[in-house]
Structure 1
Amino acid sequence: MSVKEDDINEGRRRFMMSGALVVSFSLFPGVKAMAQEVIADEGAAVHVAKATETLAGSLKTNPFLDAWIKIDAAGKVTVYTGKVELGTGVRTALLQIAAEELDMAPSLITFLTADTGASPDEGLTAGSHTIADSGSALLNAAAQVRGLLVDAAAKRFGVGSSVLKAHNAIITAPDGRTMTYGEAVGAAGLHRMASPESPLKDPATFAMIGTSLPRLDIPGKMTGGPSYVQDMSMPDMLHARVVLPPAYDAKLLRTNTPDILKMPGVVNVIRNGSMLAVVAKGEWQAVLAQRALAAGSQWSAGRALPDPATVHRDLKQIATEHIEIANTHGATRTAGKTLSASSTKRYMLHGSIGPSCSIAQFKDGNMTVWTHSQGVYPLRDGLAEMLSLPKENVRCIHVEGSGCYGHNGADDVAAHAALIARELTGQPVRVQWMREQEHTWDHFTPAMVTEVSASLDASGSIVGWNYALWSSSHNERIVNAGRLVPATMLEKPFVSAPSVPMVQPEGGGDRNAIPLYTFPNLHVMNNFSPTMPLHTSAMRSLGAHMNVFTIETFMDELSAAAGADPVAFRLKHMEDPRAREVIQLAAAKFGWPRAPRNPNHGVGFAFGKYKNLMAYVAMAVEISVVPETGQVILERAEVAVDAGQIVNPDGIRNQIEGGVIQSASWTLYEELKFDKERIRSFDWSSYPILRFSAVPRSLNVHLINRPGAAFLGAAEASMGPTAGALGNALFDATGKRLRDMPLGGDSLRRQIDV
C-alpha cells in the first residue's frame, strides 16, 4: 500500500523510529524523576487519507505500526496510545488489548499515554471513543506486529509461520529453537503502514481481553500516593496563582503590584493586559499573595449575564440556526390520540473535585506543559498559536487530573502556566486555580429546551413523532488560541473561533435526539444558537442526557395513553435485536412489572443506545421520596449493558455505576446559580451535588458480552437512561410528571405541596 507524501506526516514518524521514549517527571518533593510507564470524537476534525480509510479505529489517522508499538533490540516492548486516563480505567483496558494480541503478560509492556512528543495523535479523549477507536487500533496493530515478528522468525527457522508459538516476547519453533521479539524486529521492520487485514486471535482463546485486570491507577489513589498533576513536584519549581476577572469581559484597570512584591516569598507579579498572576517560592505564599492582589485590583464592570428567570425563553430567540436532522415519511395511519410535552434543563457546571492544575517550563526556546487536558494535541496547537511558537517547540504531556468528564479548566490553566513560565525562563512553574475560579470560569453545560409530540393509532402504535430542541454549543474545545480563556485577556487578545454545531450521527446538543425506536413518520429539528450567553462546552454525554430523558419519559406517557406496560410498549416499537435483548434483560433482572406502589415510592424504566452508535443501556430503578425535603433516594437499580466485546468487565461496571450516580446528581439536584451580574455558584454550598448519603442503596450492572464483536464505548452510555428512568419513577411515586430539571430537592417539594 502506498500513500501520497501529503497524506502522511513523515517527519514525526521518522522521529518515532529513533527509539523508545520514556517520559519522566517527579511526583514527590525532592525526588528527581519517576518514569511514566505502566508495568504490570468530539474534537477538531482529522484528516483521513484515502489510503487509510479502510483501517481499524485510529489507524485511519495514524497508520504506521511503530506509532503504536516499538520494540528495541533488547526486546523491550513499548506501546503507545494517544488517549488519556480520566478515571475511566482505559489505561488498563488498552494495555490488556495490546497484551492480548502481542501474546505478552502486561507486566512486560511499557505503556505510555498521550504526549505530543511521543504518542500518536488521537485528538480528544471524549465521546466514549477510547476503546472503540484506540482499542481497535491497538488490537489490530498488535496483531499485525505479532504476525510480522512470527513471519520473520519463520523465515529464519525455515518453517511455516503457523507452526510457531509466540508467548511473552519469545517465539518458539516445534524443535525448541527460540527467537525473541528483539531479535526478530530487525528483520520484521515495524515502520510500515498497517494493513486492512489482521491476524487476530480467536476470541475463544483470549486470556487478557474479557478479564478484570486490576486497574493500574487505583493503588496510588487508594493509598494517598502521588497520582495526579496536582501532586507533581519538580526541582526548583515555583508556584503561581492567577487573578481572574469578576465578570465576563471585565478589564483590569489597576493593581497593587508594588505591595504584593514586598510579600514573603513573592518572586514576580505578571500582567499582560487583563491576565494577572503572582509567582512565589511556596504554594501558600502564592495563595496569600493572590488574595491580596485580587483585593487590591480594580476592574471595569464587564458584560451583563442573561436573566435566569427567562433563560429558556431567550434561548428560543437566539437559536438562529435550524437544522433538520431527521425526516422520514412512511405510510400514513389514522391518529386516534396526540400527546405533547415540553421539558427544560438549566446550566450546570463540571464541579471538578480537584481545581485545574498545570506545570510549564520554558527552556531553550521550548515550552513543555504537564496537563490533565483531554486533548494534548489540540492544546499544543492552541498554545503554539498563543505563544507565537512553532508547534514542534511546544510539548504537552498528559498527567491525570483529579476529577472531570468534559471540558473543564484544564486547557485554560495550562495556558496560564505557559504564559507565566515564558516570563521565568528555565524554571518550572506550577499553577492551580482556586475553587471559586474552577466554578465560576468553568465551561458550563448549556441550558436546553425540548418539545415533543406524537400520535397513536387505534392499536396503540406510534404513527407520528415530532421532536425539536433548542440549545447553544456543547463543544467549544480548543481549535484555536481564542478558545483558551487567558488568551482572550491578553493586551493583544485572541478571538475564539466561531461556534458551530456538531454534525450527526455524533451530534452535540442533538446527540441522541433521533430515537432508536421505529416510527413510520419521524421529524427532528435541532435549533442551534451560535451565541452563548455563558461560557459553555462539553460535559459528559453532551445533549444525550436531556434528549434521552425527554424521549424516555414521553415513551412512558404514550404507553399509559395506549394502556400498555412501559416495557412491552418499548419492545413493540423496537426492531434492533440487541436493543430488545438489553431491555428484556433489565426488566427480567428487576422483576418487571412490579405490583402497585405505595405513595412516595415508585419504579421507572428507560433505554438508550449512546449516540445510536455505542453501547446499549436499559435500566429499571426503584425510588423513594421524602416529601418534606424533596430528597429522592435511589433504592435499587438494575442495569443491562451491551458494549460489544468486553475488555475489562469491572471497568465497564465502574463506568456505568459512576454514570448512574453522576446523572442522578444532575437530574435531581444540580443547577448553576447566576444573576445578571455574575456567576453565584462559587463553592460547594452554592452548587450542591449528590451526597454520599444519597447514593444508590443497590446498583447492579449486568453485562452482555459479544466475543469478537466491535468494541462499543460505554463510559457515557448510562447518563440519559438514568435521567429517563428517574423521571418515570418520580411520576410513579408522586403522580407528578416533572419536566424541568432539576427534578428533586426544593422543586420537587413545592410540586408535592401543590
Structure 2
Amino acid sequence: MIPATLQANPELDRWVRFEPHGFARIAFGKVEYGQGTVTALAQIAAEELDLPLSMVRVVNAATGAVPDEGMTVGSMSVESSGASVRAACAEVRALFVAKAAERLGCLPGEIDIRDGIFLVNDLPTGEDYWTLAPHVDLARPATGEARWKSPDRHRLVGQSQPRLDLPAKLYGEAFLHDIRLPGMVHARVLRQPGPKARLAHLDEAAIRQAAGGEVEILRDASFVAFISARESVAAKALVAAEANVAWEDARALSPALTEPASLKTLPHTDHPAGAEPPEGSNRRRHTATYGKPYIAHGSMGPSCGLARFEDGKLTVWTHGQGVYPLRQMLARISGLEPEKIEVIHAQGAGCYGHNGSDDAAVDAAVIALRRPGAPVRVQWRREDEFGWSPVGTAMHIELAAELDPSGRLVDYTAEIWSGPHVGRGRSLAEAALPENPNAAPPPAPPAPPPGAPRFSGGLLNAIPSYDIPTTRTLEHLVVPTPVRTSSLRGLGGPINTFAGESFVDELAEIAGQDPLAYRLSMLVDPRGRAVVEKVADMADWGRRWAAGTGRGLGLAYDRHRDRAGYVAAVVEVEVEAEVRLVKMWCAADAGLIINPDGARNQIEGGMIMAASWVLKEQVRLGGTGIATTTWDDYPILRFSEVPPVEIALINTKDPRPFGIGELSQGPTMGALSNAVAHALGTRIRELPFTREKVAAALLS
C-alpha cells in the first residue's frame, strides 16, 4: 500500500535525489516549527537508505521544491509524512540495489549498503549511490512494492540524534524575522476593530508628524499600511494612527462573553452521536460541568511576513504551517495563477496551530502587490499577536454518568458547547480590502465519505478511553464565536480529557475506590493498562495520602484521539494560596520512536504547556475584541515554576509510529486537576485554577 501523500506526489525524484559531493537530497512537505520534524524525517530517510545522518541534506520547504503534503498539523508528520518518506526511500534503495546487482553480476540479496557504499560479502564493490545515480531513473511513480526495514534491522531510527535545526537558530540564521534583503522596506498594518468595521477618517498629517521620518501611507478601502525604509518610523506611524483614526460599525463585546458558559447563549447547531438518550432507571447518576476559556498561542515571538512582487511573480516567506495551502490563499486574494507565486518557509516562533503567521505573510503580500520591486517586511507587535491571532475556542462541557450497583461506569454522556477548532479561511487583510469579484471564495472543508463519521475537533476524546458499555455525545457548535478561533495544540482533545478524567475521579470517589484501581477495572487494552501501571509505579502511587491536606497526587489517562498513542500522567502539587507544581510523571506508548530525545522533549513540552493552561492562561474579551494583549494581561508558566518531569517511553519498537506533539497535554491537565482536588478536598471545575478560584473552593 502506498501512503496517502506519496500517492498524491508519486514521482520518486520529488522525494529523493543524489547530489554531487556525496549527499542525498531529501524533500518532504512538512515544515519545522520547533517540534523536531526535520530531524525525525531525516532519520527515517537515512535509515531506509543506509546512510549516516550527516550525508542527508533536507530541502527547505518551498512550493515547487518539495512535495505538496498540505499542512503540518495534528502531530501527524512522523506518522503520515514519515510513512511516505519511508516508502519512497525504501523503493529508491531497492532500485539502486537492483542496478548494482546487474552491474556486479550478483543477486540483489547478496548486497548490503553501509554509509551509502554497496558491499558484497562485507567488502566494498566500488559502487555507491553516486556512481549508480546516472544509471537509475527516479523520475518514475512509486509502486509500493519495496519492503521497509523492520525495527530489528534499524541502526539509526530509535537512536537519539541532535536536532538539525538548532545550530542555525543559535547563530541567528534560521528565523524569518532575521532575514534582510537588499532594498527591503518595513511595514505595519492598522487593524479594524472587528471584521465589519469600516474606515471613516484617518488623520494622515498627524501620523506623518509623529512618525519622525519619511513614511508612505497605503490605503485600500479599510486596509491601511505604513511603509518606511526605517522600521522605527513605520512602528511610530502605527502607534500614531491608532490614536488618530475613526471607524464605522466597530464592534463592542461584553466582558461576560469571556466566560465559557456564555457559549450556551450564542447561536449554535446541534450534532448528536452515539446511543439514544438514556431512559429512566434506578442506577446512581452523577453530573458535573467543566469549562475552559479562550486560550492564546502565546508564541514567544510575534508573527512576521516577507514578500516581493517583481516581474509579475510574487515571492512570499512565511513561518506558517504549510507552503502550498498559503499559496492557494494568496492566489485567491491576488488573482495570480498559483504558478506565479512562490512560498518559502523560514522558521519562526512555534505555535502548535494557527496563529498569526499566515496573516503576517498575507499582509506583506498585499503591500508588495501594490508596491512592486522592493521586498516588504511586516513585523507584528506583541499586542497584535495577542489581539489579532486566532485563539483556541472556549468550551463548556456538561457530563453525566450512570453507575451500576458495584460503582462501575456503564452509561456516559458528554454534552459540549464549543466554537470551531479549525478556522482557516479569510485572512484579516481580506476582511479589510474591497471585494474582488474575480476572487474565488475560500474552499469549503472536504465532505466526509459516505458513511464516514463526522470529524469535529470539539469531540476529540469526548468519551474517556475506557470500556464503557453505552456512550453518547451532543455537540453544540457555536458559529460564529465572538472572536476568531482556530486550531491550537490538540484542538478539543486536551480539554475533553481534562473534563473526562476529572469526572472519572469523581466517579471513583462515589464508588469508594482508589482512582488507579477504578481506572484499571475499566481498562482492557493491554497497552493502555501498561502505561497506567508504569506511571503509577514511577510516582509511587501507593504512598498517596488522605485528601484535603494541601498536598495532592493526581492521575489521568487517555488514548490520544481514541486511535493513536497511549499516555498516562501523574502530577504532585502543594496548594496554599496558589497551586505549586512539585513533580510530574508521564508514561507513553507512541509506538515506534524515531528520536527518543526529541520524543521526550515533545512530551515534556506538552506537559509544561498543559500545566500553564490549567494554572494561568485565559483570554479575556471586552471593548472591540480581545482585552488581554500583553504578557502582564496573559501570564504563562515561568521557568521558575516548572517542576522536575520524568518520562518513560515504552513499546518503542512497535512497527507503527504515532504522533507525539499533542500526546501529553490531556492527561497532564486531568492529572493536575485531580491533584488539586486531592490537595483541597474539593474540586475546581473551570480553568484556569487561579488564586481566586482556589480561595473560593476552600470557602465553599
TM-score normalised by structure 1 residue count? 0.87
SS of 1:617 mapped into structure 2 = strand
The answer as to 2:186 corresponding to 1:239 is yes
Question: Quick one: structure 1 residues 227 and 383, their matched pair in 2 at CA, closer, same or farther if it must change by over 3 Å?
Answer: same
> Which residue is 1:736 aligned to?
682
Trace 1:558-707 onto structure 2 (pairs within 5 A): 558-597=507-546, 599-627=549-577, 631-696=578-643, 698-707=644-653
Q: Which position in structure 1 is the counterpart of 2:334?
A: 387
| Separation in 1, partners of 2:297, 2:86 | 33
Counterpart-to-counterpart distance in 1, 2:171 and 2:682: 45
Write the distance in 2 (CA, Å) between the matches of 1:622 and 1:592. Answer: 10
Change (3 A) 1:736 1:496: farther
Listed as ranges, the matches of 1:186-205 within 5 Å are: 186-205=134-153
Please say if residues 39 and 164 of structure 2, whose CA atoms lie closer than 8 Å, have aligned partners that are also in contact. Answer: yes
The secondary structure found in structure 1 opposite 2:430 is: helix
In structure 2, the partner of 1:436 is 383
How far has the Cα of 1:258 moved from its partner?
A: 4.6
Specify whether residues 144 and 375 from structure 1 end up closer, same or farther in structure 2 by C-alpha distance, changes over 3 A only: same
Please point out which of 710, 714, 721 is paired with 2:667. Answer: 721
Q: 1:520-573 CA distances to partner (integer Å, 9 max, x unpaired)?
A: 111122221232221111110010121001110111111111111111111111
1:219-270 alpha-carbon deviations (Å, 9 max, x no partner)? 344x452331111111221111111123442211222335555755535221
Q: Report matched runs for 1:253-652 at 5 Å.
A: 253-258=200-205, 260=207, 265-308=213-256, 311-318=259-266, 320-327=268-275, 336-478=283-425, 483-492=426-435, 507-597=456-546, 599-627=549-577, 631-652=578-599
What is the distance in 2 between the residues matched to 1:608 and 1:661?
A: 18
Q: Is this contact kept in 1: 2:612–2:636, CA < 8 A?
A: yes
Secondary structure in 1 aligned to 2:567?
strand
Q: Secondary structure at the match of 1:83?
A: coil
Deviation at 1:343, TM superposition (A): 0.9
Contact 2:70–2:322 under 8 Å retained in 1: yes
**Distance across 2 between alignment mates of 1:67 and 1:224:** 30
Alignment gaps of 5+ in structure 1: 1-53
User: 2:124 & 2:390 partners in 1: Cα distance?
Assistant: 61
Residues 162-182 of structure 1: CA distance to partner in whole angstroms, max 9, x if unpaired? Answer: 111222222234474322213
- Tell me which amino acid in the other structure corresponds to 2:574: S
Question: 1:744: how far off?
Answer: 2.8
Q: Distance in 2 between matches of 1:310 and 1:296?
A: 29
In structure 2, what residue type is equivalent to 1:562?
Answer: A
Aligned partner of 1:62 in structure 2 is 9
Q: Secondary structure at the match of 2:543?
A: coil
8 Å CA contact retained: 1:329, 1:522: no
Amino acid paired to 1:370:
W
Q: Does the aligned pair in 1 maintain the 2:258–2:293 contact within 8 Å?
A: no
Displacement of 1:329 in angstroms is: 10
How far 1:204 sits from its partner (Å)? 2.0
How far residue 603 of structure 1 moved from its aligned partner, in angstroms, is 0.5
1:180 aligns with 2:128: yes
Per mean C-alpha deviation after superposition, the further-off stretch among 118-127 and 486-495 is: 486-495
> How far 1:112 moved relative to its partner?
1.6
For residue 498 of structure 1, report the CA deviation from its aligned partner. 6.9
Between 736-745 and 57-66, report the one with greater CA deviation. Answer: 57-66
Match of 1:251 in 2: 198
**What is the letter of the counterpart of residue 557 of structure 2?**
F
Q: Aligned-pair distance for 1:684?
A: 0.7
Letter matched to residue 249 of structure 1? K
**Relative to structure 1, is the Cα distance of residues 149 and 708 closer, same or farther in structure 2, using a 3 angstrom cutoff?**
farther
Query: Separation in 2 of the partners of 1:307 and 1:324?
Result: 30
Instruction: Give the direction of change, closer, same or farther, for the CA distance of 1:501–1:176 in structure 2 (3 Å limit).
Output: closer
User: For this pair of structures, how many residues does the alignment match?
Assistant: 691
**Equivalent residue letter for 1:70:** R
Deviation at 1:622? 0.5
Q: What residue number does 1:29 align with? A: none
- One-letter code of the match for 2:430? A
Q: How far, CA to CA, are the matches of 2:212 and 2:484 in structure 1? A: 36
Whether the 8 Å CA contact 1:326–1:514 is kept in 2: the answer is: no
Name the structure 2 match of 1:208: 156
Q: Which amino acid aligns with 2:640?
A: S
CA–CA distance in structure 1, aligned partners of residues 256 and 168 of structure 2:
42
What letter is aligned with 1:485? L
Q: In the alignment, what sits opposite 1:3?
A: none
Alpha-carbon deviation of 1:741?
1.0
**Aligned partner letter, 1:197:** E
Percent sequence identity over aligned pairs: 38
| CA distance in 1 between partners of 2:698 and 2:267 (Å) | 34
TM-score, scaled to structure 2: 0.94
Measure the CA separation in 2 of the matches of 1:621 and 1:122: 37
Cα offset, 1:73, TM superposition: 6.6
Tell me if the contact between 1:500 and 1:530 (Cα under 8 Å) persists in the aligned partners: no
**1:639, CA displacement in angstroms?**
0.4
What is the CA–CA distance in structure 2 between the aligned matches of 1:107 and 1:736, rounded to whole Å? 55
State the one-letter code of the partner of 1:530: V
C-alpha distance in structure 2 between counterparts of 1:500 and 1:459, whole Å: 45
Q: Is the contact made by 1:336 and 1:458 (CA closer than 8 Å) also made in structure 2?
A: yes
Pair 333,462 (structure 1): closer, same or farther in 2 beyond 3 Å: farther
Secondary structure in structure 1 of the residue aligned to 2:416? strand
Given that 2:101 and 2:111 are in contact with CA atoms closer than 8 Å, whether structure 1 keeps it comes out as yes
SS of corresponding position for 2:622: coil
Contact kept, 8 Å, 1:328 with 1:520, in 2: the verdict is no
Contact 1:608 1:717 in 2 (8 A): no
Query: How far apart are residue 314 of structure 1 and its match?
Result: 4.0
CA contact (8 A) 1:305 1:534 kept: no
Q: Secondary structure of the residue that 1:368 maps to in structure 2?
A: strand
Instruction: Report the secondary structure of 1:509's partner residue.
Output: helix
- For 1:6, the equivalent position in structure 2 comes to none
Which residue in the other structure is 1:45 paired with? none
Distance 1:651 1:155 in 2: 40
**Partner amino acid for 2:668?**
T
